[in-house]
Amino acid sequence: MKTSVEVEYWVIDRKGELCAPEGLTGISPQVEEEFVDCLLEIKTTPCESVEDLAAQFVELLGETLREAKERGKGLVPLATPLDCDSIEQLPGDRARIQEQVLGEDFEYAKHCAGTHLHFEKRRVVDQLNTLIALDPALALLNSSPYYKGQRIAAGARPYIYREKGYAQFPAHGQLWEYAESVAEWNDRLERRYAEFKREAIDAGVDEAEFEANFTPDDAIWTPVRLRKCFPTVEWRSPDATLPSQILRLAGEMYPLMDEASRAEVRVEGDLGLVTDDGITLPEFGAVREYTDAAIHEGLGSGEVREYLGRMGFDVDAYDPLTEQLDRGPSLDEAQARELRLEYAAALERDVARLSEPEQYAHRKQNA
């Protein structure tokens, strides 16, 4: 089963100020600009194993960090920039249309940096439903409690993205219920696409321009997506964070998604359980409660920890950055700059460790 990852990182200068990537996105076709002027995305190609994924991701990230250092820049592995005012978006029709439809709420999306994990389509409905049930695992990578200097949740990014950015369109940005079939899932997509199109036209967007920039496959921003163009099932919930933590999560998700593509998957009760005999997913209402706790409390929630343990995760092996950088109910711009510099340095150390020969051998042994 092939897998790939996409991770977004904030770009800063030597003072910790957000800045443009400039030449960093010319390193490789796999290093791209995002839709705002201080964010870049590193994406791997589809890999045959977690070992291959780790090798490619670490190499790409290492190359980007070396180039960044030469240019007096750094990359920050945090879900939000912690404290800053308005972030400028780059010229582009898609982002302009979204802002035209969402209005001021689109500002929330500009403060979000995440991790997207892709898994090759196999038994699609079971894979989709398993990813939906595993959404509370976002707590394992929570990496910022702050939005514009205010502590708002253990996972500030999923909170502002789901609850604020798409408050007017909850069906477009929040977790969907389990799918009964691919056809039924695609019907949902078509309905949401039609709704978004109507709102765009009502907001003054030309219909032909809208259709040139959006399709049902890419007009929805739900945490779990079925992608036609890759083709994969995609999980978009985790924050951007240190690569060692991302790769640990990918290594635990991979066998779960593999099991979902070959073993029995059923929905029953509120607890959830993964065994060698199959996967029992909790009812969707329970999943929503676990996910809400994962966003607001993170691994501070005993129920989330117990649930993730039953679903096969080694919870104690994770150290979410959101807990490390908590500086109280608020922080100012100077503190934010210092923290960005601190975690940019932590990212460099993490990549250096992952690049060591013995670390590569360990990844190969455990892949």
For 47-88, how does the pLDDT look when each residue is reduced to its tens digit (9 = 90+)?
999 999 999 999 999 999 999 999 999 999 999 999 987 798
For 183, counting Cβ atoms within 10 Å of its Cβ (0-12 exposed, 13-18 middle, 19+ buried), the class is: exposed
Q: pLDDT digits over 79-122, tens only?
A: 999 998 779 888 889 999 999 999 999 999 999 999 999 999 99
pLDDT of residue 149: 96
**Neighbouring C-beta atoms of residue 149, cutoff 10 Å:** 17
- Domain 3-357, classified CATH 3.30.590.20, yes or no: yes
Q: Is the peptide bond before 231 cis (omega within 30 degrees of 0)?
A: yes
Is beta strand 264-267 parallel, antiparallel or unpaired with respect to 278-281? parallel
- Is 239 strand, coil or helix? strand
What pTM, to 2 d.p., does this model score? 0.95
55 Cβ contact list (under 8 Å, min separation 6):
360, 363
Residues in the chain, total: 367
pLDDT confidence bin for 168, thresholds 50/70/90: confident
293/287 Cα distance (integer angstroms): 10
Please give the span between the terminal C-alpha atoms of the chain, in angstroms, as a whole number.
Answer: 13
Has residue 364 got a pLDDT over 90?
A: no
Q: What's the average model confidence in pLDDT over 301-310?
A: 98
Rg, Å, the chain Cα set: 20
223/175 Cα distance (integer angstroms): 6
pLDDT of residue 358: 56
